Amino acid sequence: MPQLNCENITLGYDGKIVISELSFSIDAGDYLCIIGDNGSGKSTLMKAILKLKSPMSGQIITGEGLAANEIGYLPQQTVVQKDFPATVREVVSSGCLNRVGLRPFYNSVEKQMVEENMEKLGISALASRCYRELSDGQQQRTLLARALCAAQKILLLDEPAAGLDPVASIDMYSLISKLNQDGLTIIMISHDIGAALKYATHILHIANKMALFYGTKEDYLASEAGWVYV
């Protein structure tokens, strides 16, 4: 059974449809890149997968015992978030909040997870630094480490390289690719078609409120939708 299966879902706001009868499935270890024009419903789809928004019709089914607290999410960062007055360790630790529940503290397992994810993202030396004093690339690494504290099986990323310079963008995509190679399922929204075609295993191209294409990267490049990128 797929790790995540979207069956004929229709999404919208206030009765206005943004995506109609969309179907696709994700297996464990896939790297899906979702592409499409602004306003095509990509972020709305992310919210539906996170159960922050209910489909107008259709259903999203999880398999392989996937629970809501096993999905990590890296949203697009706002200007207000960039000025957040907390240490890097505090920001990363907040990714464990769903595990903490009503406990007023982090346990040893969660603290160890924070340290391991900071190490994995190369920000251990920044642990005591104030988040708002970091560079854009360092901030994004911190937020990715935070998302990893929540992600046991799937990581959702909404334009993870937005606002980064070319060097930091390449670095971010390389980090995400390594996480996928280590077994984490990736679902990423990106306007960077080059990165999508370099790293993704599957492409979901949304246009005109529907799936223009869903399938492997190789099949996408051979399709009419992907010809422009060959």
Could you tell me the strand order of the sheet in which 210-216 lies?
Answer: 71-74, 154-158, 185-189, 31-36, 202-207, 210-216
Q: Is the pLDDT confidence value at 164 over 80?
A: yes
Strand order in the sheet with 4-13: 16-26, 4-13, 57-62
Give the confidence band of 79 by pLDDT, cuts at 50, 70, 90: low
How far apart CA 126 and CA 138 sit, in angstroms, is: 9
Enter the tokens of residue 120. Answer: 């994995």
Q: How far is CA 39 from CA 36, 57, 188, 196, 204, in A?
A: 8, 20, 16, 19, 15
Picking from 117-126, 148-157, 199-208, 221-230, which range would have the lowest pLDDT averaged per residue? 221-230
Q: Supply the pLDDT for residue 116.
A: 94
Dihedral sign, Cα of residue 186, residue 187, residue 191, residue 197: positive
Report CA-CA distances (Å) from 183 to 9, 28, 157, 204, 221: 27, 8, 16, 20, 25
The per-residue pLDDT for 1 is: 75
Would the pLDDT of 36 be above 90? Answer: no
Token pair for residue 110? 């969660």
105 class by beta-carbon count within 10 Å (0-12 exposed, 13-18 middle, 19+ buried): exposed
Percent of the chain clearing pLDDT 70 (strictly above): 93
Is residue 101 over pLDDT 70?
Answer: no
Q: For the segment 45-71, what is each residue's pLDDT rounded down to a tens digit? A: 999 998 888 999 999 988 877 776 788
Average pLDDT over residues 25-33: 94
Instruction: Please tell me the predicted confidence (pLDDT) of residue 215.
Output: 94
Residue 100 has pLDDT above 80, yes or no: no
Identify residue 214 by its one-letter amino acid code. Y
Whole-number pLDDT of residue 97? 80
Confidence of residue 196 (pLDDT cuts 50, 70, 90): confident
**What's the gap between Cα 166 and its chain centre?**
20
Q: How many CB atoms lie within 10 A of CB 61?
A: 12
Q: How many Å is the maximal CA-CA distance in the chain? A: 55
